[in-house]
């Protein structure tokens, strides 16, 4: 044990001696190194601060310079036309060579995103860079992957129709024409004394009114491929088109048809008992009334035509005129510029002087010599005869060599004034 203790003591002495020598030799070097590091840190900090001050000063000078250059009218400023032209030309050349996507935000202001540039097409003789983006607006880069929604409704313009059909007397027939009996002269009665001889009083007389239905048609052709491929029900669509156009013809002819000579209805505006005879002013007889003012009408004129109709016919009478004439009626005012036609309640149908009205596009315009206003008991005034309702026939053989089908619509109808005293029209002076 004594030998081990001596060995441990000698080792400890050697370690202490080595530490003392190392401290004596290395200590000054460590102190010098710390002094060098401290000096270098201070100098670097001073250099960085000096550089930052110089940068801030340069930024301030640059900002002031830009402010001066951007003043309106400064030559060489950013709003200088020459500078803008040069920048635009430079940006365009860059877009041609590298593509629109390579431009900076400022350069893109001078070059619009033209579709051909954005999609990677050639500009002049140059080809821009390859695009990795998928565009929905270009079919080959993604457009084929986008599917639009096709709405199932069809947008159609409004076809204006004079709906006289809802006013007049409508008869169906299975015969070539209709004969309607008409009393042309009434009987009479008289007073007589008790034993006086009775003499013959006025005897009733009769006549016939003939209404002949004439054919109207529409013909259209549809290819077989259209019928096969169309998502729209074309036969049903053609049927509705025919019905609409037949209704338009019907409304026009009830007012303006010229009769048998043209295979048309006899319109009330071409009936000689209505437009060729002036109303005498009393008795409720046939004939037109005349406005008191040239080129227009007044409120008393409306009163005159209304009371030219016998009271029995006024029950169920309806006015008819165009929407423009309706607007002229609403503009009528008294001497104090107050409207003569006051507004009705929101839930009440439109009425004029206590009677309903219909806006008919086929009534004449307001002008001298025209008959723009009608007031009548239409059920008694006019009769419409329908021989055949609207139907459609498919013509399979007619267009077979064209690989198409023909669709022919058919409507057979006619009309005539049956009781002329049940309605009146106003003639504009």
Is residue 113 within 8 A of residue 105, CB to CB? The reply is: no
Q: Are residues 115 and 169 in the same domain?
A: no
Q: Are residues 259 and 359 in the same domain?
A: yes
Instruction: Assign 209 to helix, strand or coil.
Output: strand
For residue 425, is pLDDT > 90?
yes
For residue 336, is pLDDT > 80?
yes
pLDDT tens, residue by residue, 17-32: 766 676 666 666 666 6
Q: Are residues 239 and 101 in the same domain?
A: no
**215 beta partners:** 412
Is residue 424 within 8 A of residue 313, CB to CB? The reply is: no
CA distance 44 to 257: 108
**Higher per-residue confidence, 246 vs 126:** 246
Q: Answer yes or no: is 13 within a domain.
A: no
Task: Grade residue 14 by pLDDT with cuts at 50, 70 and 90.
Answer: low
Q: Answer yes or no: is 6 within a domain.
A: no
Q: Are residues 248 and 321 in the same domain?
A: yes
Q: Are residues 92 and 223 in the same domain?
A: no
For residue 126, is pLDDT > 50?
no
Instruction: Assign 211 to helix, strand or coil.
Output: strand
For residue 218, is pLDDT > 90?
yes
Q: Are residues 290 and 230 in the same domain?
A: yes
Residue 388: the pLDDT is: 87
Domain of residue 141, residue span: 81-145
Residue 310: the pLDDT is: 93
pLDDT tens, residue by residue, 77-91: 555 677 777 888 888
pLDDT tens, residue by residue, 232-252: 888 888 999 999 999 999 999
Q: Answer yes or no: is 356 within a domain.
A: yes
Q: What is the average pLDDT value for the chain, to the nearest integer? A: 82
Q: How many domains does the chain have?
A: 2
Q: Answer yes or no: is 194 within a domain.
A: no
CA contacts within 13 A on the Cβ side of 40: 6
Q: Answer yes or no: is 268 within a domain.
A: yes
Residue 343: exposed, middle, or buried by beta-carbon count in 10 A (0-12, 13-18, 19+)? exposed
pLDDT tens, residue by residue, 134-162: 555 566 666 667 777 777 778 888 899 99
Q: Answer yes or no: is 358 within a domain.
A: yes
């Amino acid at each position: 044990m004594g030998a081990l203790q001596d060995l441990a003591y000698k080792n400890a002495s050697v370690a202490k001696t080595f530490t003392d020598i190392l401290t004596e030799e290395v200590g000054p070097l460590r102190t010098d190194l710390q002094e060098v590091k401290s000096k270098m840190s201070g100098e670097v900090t001073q250099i960085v601060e000096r550089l930052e001050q110089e940068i801030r000063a340069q930024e301030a000078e640059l900002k002031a310079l830009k402010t001066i250059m951007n003043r309106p009218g400064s030559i060489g400023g950013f709003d200088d036309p020459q500078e803008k032209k040069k920048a635009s030309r430079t940006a365009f050349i860059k877009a041609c060579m590298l593509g629109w996507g390579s431009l900076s935000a400022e350069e893109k202001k001078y070059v619009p995103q033209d579709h051909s540039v954005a999609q990677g097409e050639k500009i002049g003789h140059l080809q821009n860079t390859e695009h990795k983006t998928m565009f929905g607006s270009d079919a080959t880069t993604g457009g084929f992957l986008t599917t639009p929604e096709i709405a199932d409704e069809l947008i159609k313009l409004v076809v204006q129709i004079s709906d006289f059909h809802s006013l007049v007397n409508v008869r169906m027939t299975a015969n070539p024409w209709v004969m309607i009996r008409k009393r042309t002269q009434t009987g009479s009665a008289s007073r007589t004394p008790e034993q006086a001889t009775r003499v013959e009083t006025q005897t009733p007389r009769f006549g016939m009114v003939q209404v002949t239905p004439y054919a109207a048609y529409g013909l259209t052709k549809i290819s077989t491929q259209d019928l096969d491929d169309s998502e729209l029900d074309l036969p049903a669509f053609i049927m509705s088109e025919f019905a609409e156009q037949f209704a338009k013809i019907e409304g026009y002819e009830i007012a303006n048809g010229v009769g048998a000579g043209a295979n048309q209805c006899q319109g009330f505006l071409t009936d000689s008992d209505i437009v060729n005879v002036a109303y005498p002013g009393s008795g409720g007889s046939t004939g037109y009334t005349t406005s008191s003012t040239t080129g227009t009408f007044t409120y008393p004129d409306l009163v005159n035509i209304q009371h030219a109709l016998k009271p029995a016919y006024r029950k169920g009478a309806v006015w008819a005129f165009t929407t423009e004439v309706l607007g002229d009626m609403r503009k009528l005012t008294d001497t104090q510029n107050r409207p003569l036609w006051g507004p009705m309640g929101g839930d009440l149908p439109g009425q004029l002087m206590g009677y309903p009205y219909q806006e008919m596009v086929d009534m004449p315009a307001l002008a001298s010599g025209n008959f723009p206003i009608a007031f009548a008991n239409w059920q008694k005034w006019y009769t419409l005869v329908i021989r055949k309702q609207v139907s459609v026939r498919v013509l399979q053989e007619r267009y077979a060599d064209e690989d198409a089908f023909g669709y022919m619509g058919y409507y057979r109808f006619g009309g005539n004034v049956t009781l002329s005293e049940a309605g009146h029209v106003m003639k504009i002076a």
